[in-house]
Chains A and B, each alone.
Chain A
Amino acid sequence: MSDILDILLAANFWAAALRIATPLIFGVIGALICERAGVLNLGIEGIFTAGAMAGWMAVWLGAGLWGGVMVAALAGAFFGLIHAILTVPLGLSQHVSGVGVTLFATSLSYFIYRTALPEVSSPPRIEAFQPLNIPGLSDLPFIGTVLFQQTALTILALLLVGVTGYVLYRTPLGLAIRAVGDNPSAVESQGLSVYGLRIGAVVVGSAIMALGGAFLTMSAFDAFFFGMVNGRGWICIALTVFASWRPGKALIGALLFGAFDAFQVRLQTEVGSFIPGQVFLMMPYILSILALIIVARKADYPRAMLVPYFRGQR
């Protein structure tokens, strides 16, 4: 018992939790922006892959780390735009379009990677983001380890939570996004463009999702592997529901999730010889399903989510 407490009180543990949570934070923030505007984006899994591949490849080709981040975001925005056009003005099934975008983004990323690197046995590495070392801050006890020995992308994710919260709840744009996900005709009757808002939200949300992918290849690891996203996108969709579409709760949800994951990794080193490794690997998915079940009854989906809007029809 005291072992468990030791784990939970260690700064290293929470640093690991935040590290694991970082791609999820990007993913959940991206997904909640889309869904707040009324569009479910199941393209997320493929957009993660595209962001991971594009960001990594840009750096590998010499773009510089922040250049890679930009390229990843642009790749996400591109696939987001496809999903947005199909589901918003054309009003096609958000489920099927999302799955289509995932298949498209994934296969395109793999194809480009394979075409650029036809015969490599071990994936080439890049010089990834290094942990920050801010004199003073990074040396602070606990907080220094948890927050300021992370890479810049983790700090960016945390900043994005704040910015998204501010935009959604304090600015006219956020007001319009929340309104368009509840009742598009409320937005149109006030002279704003339903399509413009929704397409914009999906594009921006997808760009943010792609950063979660970029984190994988440019911070967590320093190379691109096939199958490296491994369901993280879907987990984000579940966490978005768990977070009731609120940025603050999204951060808490992702952190809890990261903590569980970090905890089970440490547990694995203790009891790994008795329990097959796959049981631990299953945990994130099972946890996500449990999270969905817990909130299912009171989940307050944006009212207009999944419902296409055609002008003049009410």
Chain B
Amino acid sequence: MASDASTRPVVLQLTGITKRFGSLTANEDVCLDLRQGEILALLGENGAGKTTLMNILFGHYVADEGTVQVGDGNGGLVALEPGSPHAALEAGIGMVHQHFTLAENLSAFDNIILGTEPLFAARVSRRQARSKLESLMERSGLTVNLDIRISSLSVGEKQRVEILKALYRDARVLVLDEPTAVLTPQESDTLFQTLKKLSDSGLGIIFISHKLAEVLASSHRIAVLRLGKKVADLPTGGCDQRQLAELMVGAKVSETIRPPQEPGAPLFVLNGIWAGQGRNAIEGVSLTLKSGEILGIAGVSGNGQTMLAKVISGVERPERGTIKLGSVDLSHANARVMIDNGIARIPEDRHHDGIVGTMTVWENLASESVRKPENQRFGLLRFAAMKERARAAIKAYDIRCQSEESPARLLSGGNIQKIVLARTLDGAPQVVLAAQPSRGLDVGATADVHRRLLEARARGAGVILISEDLDELMRLSDRIAVIHRGHLSEADPTETLDRSTLGLRMAGHSGADAA
């Protein structure tokens, strides 16, 4: 496949792309080309510079050095105007971002035709647009209800709208940034079948990923980025997972190992919890967490795990149901009460809920405990003691910052997560809720998070791990439950589960059906 593709015309060529943000070099002298009808996987771990590279391609950023050229349709190449998404679109580059770029208050149809007609036209010419779209949907197999608001579409449907947006503009190159991050394994399979079909019809496709299995299964060629540099560019046939992993990470990867451990007594019990409304609600969720175990909660994003995390965090109160820690009733507890009862909460959006970016590292480390006697006396803050403890935490958790006085916003994502870990795990909590704890972190920081969670388990705490990453869940969890449309399944021992069973449950098939 790859060999016959190599004779086809080049549709996209990046040469010597370098991009710096302050002292950080996100891309360094990256060269990349793509041929017509080819599927190129851009592999790299978080922070390797994949997204930056694609943002340069699409004109969101301007490269400090280097050029982007696109095929002119006659086998030649023309330079693409930098810094202009408009030019990129005109040149036939379509991009599906990781965070969808859709206006939720408009219909799918309106989102697709947005910007495709002269802005000052007297009216939107719907009929023509619709017939073109309908034939597109038929050919590509990407079907969506065009007339309902984006806000009521599922994640998978939104992604289809994004791809249709690109196809509607006659894209010759389609870029997808981490397209499977929000999909079930089965949905991912369907997506790759669609991509295959599209590439057979001549579309050049780049998909960004850090998942080795899908890269191997679905691409013609693989380019690997590491620390902003391209370290490999090879045909997919003849690659194997280990080789790719080493290329991606640089050193030998040590897998996190979950030592066998007998769980203790039931510790933390949710019974019939209802909370929230609409898409993100949870309906009658029950779970029992034992001490000394990690209970994984799998699910495609947007199925209620955010609400579940908020309820356990004490940020959202359940409408019905009970929460008990041992004999203590926490059904109506707010965040303060949860913290005081030894429930550590790692929020899924650490920038939004985890830190106050403009406040200093030491202030963020103390933010859950300002009212504790060790931090205040008669309402007056004890600066010296607080900073002293902060310095200790910075050391113990290896938080990389200039000093405890640095504003937290200047830290990297991994170090921000370390602040959250240091703050929450500080008082040896009985229960740890970790919501998407490694999302967006690089391998090193991820390993660090995993080690801390396993440490908590080892000393007898119960850990609830909510994640969309099946590999992470299967490696760390003693038991895994699946959340789908606000309902939580029974938790089964990880040993009895495999990816496809979990995938089916994530798609809403009950355990019995899968078996």
- Chain A contacts to B: CB under 8 angstroms: 170-173, 175-176, 178-179, 182-183, 185-193, 302-303, 311-312, 314
Contacts and interface: CB of A to CB of B under 8 A. Distances in A.
A292 B86 CA distance: 40
B106 A172 contact: no
A178 B105 CA distance: 8
Contacts of B89: 190-191
B97 A183 contact: no
Interface in B115-140: 115-124
B106 A175 contact: yes
A191 B106 CA distance: 17
Nearest to A171: B123
Given A171-B124, A182-B106, A312-B61, A189 B119 contact: no
Contacts of B113: 172, 175
Contacts of A312: 55, 60-61
B165 interface: yes
27 contacts: A171-B121, A171-B124, A172-B113, A172-B114, A172-B117, A172-B119, A173-B121, A175-B124, A176-B114, A176-B119, A178-B103, A182-B103, A183-B103, A185-B97, A186-B102, A186-B111, A186-B114, A190-B116, A190-B165, A191-B85, A192-B115, A303-B104, A303-B105, A311-B60, A312-B60, A312-B61, A314-B99
A187 B119 CA distance: 12
A182 B105 contact: yes
B103 to A, nearest CB: 4
Interface in B72-106: 85-86, 88-90, 95, 97, 99, 101-106
Given A172-B114, A188-B85, A190-B114, 12 more contacts: A171-B120, A172-B118, A172-B124, A173-B120, A175-B106, A176-B119, A178-B106, A179-B105, A179-B114, A185-B97, A186-B111, A314-B97
Contacts of A188: 60, 85, 101
Given A176-B114, A191-B115, A183 B101 contact: yes
B119 A170 contact: no
A170 B123 contact: yes
Main secondary structure of the interface of B (DSSP, over half): loop
A139 to B, nearest CB: 35
Given A171-B122, A173-B119, A186-B111, A191 B86 contact: yes
Contacts of B119: 172-173, 176, 192
Minimum-distance CB pairs A-B, first 8: A190-B115, A191-B86, A189-B101, A179-B103, A191-B89, A182-B103, A185-B101, A186-B103
B368 interface: no
Contacts of B86: 191-193
Contacts of A190: 89, 114-116, 165
A314 B440 CA distance: 14
Contacts of A185: 97, 99, 101
A298 B117 CA distance: 33
Contacts, number: 90
B170 interface: no
Q: In the complex, which of the residues B90, B106, B113 has the most CB atoms of chain A within 10 Å of its own CB atom?
A: B106
Interface of B: 55, 60-61, 85-86, 88-90, 95, 97, 99, 101-106, 110-111, 113-124, 165
B283 to A, nearest CB: 23
A186 B102 CA distance: 5
Contacts of A311: 60
A60 to B, nearest CB: 35
A302 B104 CA distance: 10
A124 B101 CA distance: 55
Nearest to B58: A189
A210 to B, nearest CB: 23
A186 B114 CA distance: 9
Q: Among A182, A183, A193, find the residue whose CB has the most chain B CB atoms closer than 10 A.
A: A183
Contacts of A186: 101-103, 106, 111, 114
B115 A176 contact: yes
A32 to B, nearest CB: 14
A173 B115 CA distance: 9
Contacts of A189: 85, 95, 97, 101, 165
Nearest to B99: A314
Nearest to B124: A172
Contacts of B106: 175, 178-179, 182, 186
A193 B115 CA distance: 10
Nearest to A303: B104
B99 A187 contact: no
Contact of A175 (B61, B90, B110): B110
Nearest to B116: A190
Given A189-B95, A192-B119, A314-B97, A183 B102 contact: yes
A163 to B, nearest CB: 12
A311 B101 CA distance: 13
A141 to B, nearest CB: 36
B104 A183 contact: yes
A75 B103 CA distance: 33
A178 to B, nearest CB: 6
B55 A175 contact: no
Contacts of A171: 120-124
A230 to B, nearest CB: 34
A205 B85 CA distance: 27
Nearest to B60: A312
Nearest to A180: B103
A187 B55 contact: no
B105 A191 contact: no
Contacts of A303: 104-105
Contacts of B55: 312
B184 to A, nearest CB: 24
Which of A187, A190, A302, A311 has the largest number of chain B CB atoms within 10 A?
A190
A171 B116 CA distance: 12
A190 to B, nearest CB: 3
B21 to A, nearest CB: 10
Contacts of B124: 170-172, 175
Contacts of A302: 105
Contacts of A193: 86
Contacts of A170: 123-124
B103 A172 contact: no
A311 B58 CA distance: 12
A153 B336 CA distance: 58
A311 B83 CA distance: 10
A174 to B, nearest CB: 9
Nearest to B90: A191
A164 to B, nearest CB: 15
A48 to B, nearest CB: 28
A124 to B, nearest CB: 41
A8 to B, nearest CB: 37
Nearest to A200: B119
A187 B60 CA distance: 12
Given A187-B114, A189-B85, A192-B86, A182 B165 contact: no
B132 to A, nearest CB: 16
A187 B115 contact: yes
